Amino acid sequence: MNRIEETFARLRSQGRKGLVVYIGAGDPDLAATRDLVMAFDKAGVAVVELGVPFSDPLADGLVNQLSAQRGLESGTTPAGVLKTVREIRAESRIPIVLYVYFNLIHKVGLENFIQQSAQAGVDGLLILDLPPEESENYEALMKKAGLCQIYLVAPTTPDERVEKIVRRGSGFIYCISREGVTGMQSQVAADLAAQVSRIRAHTPLPVAVGFGVSNADQARLVASHADAVVVGSAIVQQIATHGRSAGGIESVAGFVQSLARAVAEI
């Protein structure tokens, strides 16, 4: 097992749910990213997704688009993100997933990127724009490197394709709870339970639900149906507000801890 698999196995054995946190790497800079991940580890976060900044993040709403822009402006590169992961690994075993667009991988070569990620201490990749049907030898390379390939299932994904997608995934399945791009919402999807059940009918892998979860009450509700809750834009907005201020790391970590506590109550 890698760290993602170990974490979800432990949570399942304890009858607990997990909090998956997304932040944009390099926002406001990579030193802050390192400190935030370390604080999240202490706050009880199960898995961290690091968004590798990209100039055209098609799956993301405005909050995460602006985070990617700030990451690029701070000089963050894929190599810089991997250096930061190595620094985190010197002190923490928290599972780390890179949330990344394929152009960045293609530039350095698929096998090279996977090998470099594994050597740095990354546990999985979530490639937003690489459909399973076009992944060629991606999964074989990931398995060889000991990394989990995280796949997305949307509300609009037909049942027969859900089965094909989850069969090729590992670590956990990311359930997109609503149509559209990332971003905070005032309420969770009304058909959330049915969406999770549809995925579970095809796989024993943990199901993590994201896109739109914005506060502790919503996180608690989602955790009552899923194995894990993914929160991104709400945390990224906290970073945009407090990231460069004195005590900013502590402020963001306090918000994340409130989410972790809500999830742990289920």
Alpha carbon distance 36, 141 (integer Å)? 30
Q: Do 80 and 45 contact (CB within 8 A), yes or no? A: no
Does 60 qualify as catalytic in the annotation? yes
Q: What count of other Cβ atoms lies within 10 Å of the Cβ of residue 261?
A: 15
Q: Active-site residue among 41, 49, 87, 123?
A: 49
Question: Which residues does residue 50 pair with via DSSP β-bridges, in sequence order?
Answer: 23, 98
* Residue recorded with tokens 């993040």: 57
Neighbour-count burial of 75, counting CB atoms closer than 10 A to its CB (0-12 exposed, 13-18 middle, 19+ buried): exposed
Alpha carbon distance 19, 219 (integer Å)? 9
Q: Active-site residue among 5, 29, 41, 60?
A: 60
Structure tokens at 143: 């398995």
Alpha carbon distance 200, 225 (integer Å)? 11
What is the residue type of 150? Answer: I
Does 49 qualify as catalytic in the annotation? yes
3-state SS, residue 95: coil
Residues assigned a catalytic role: 49, 60
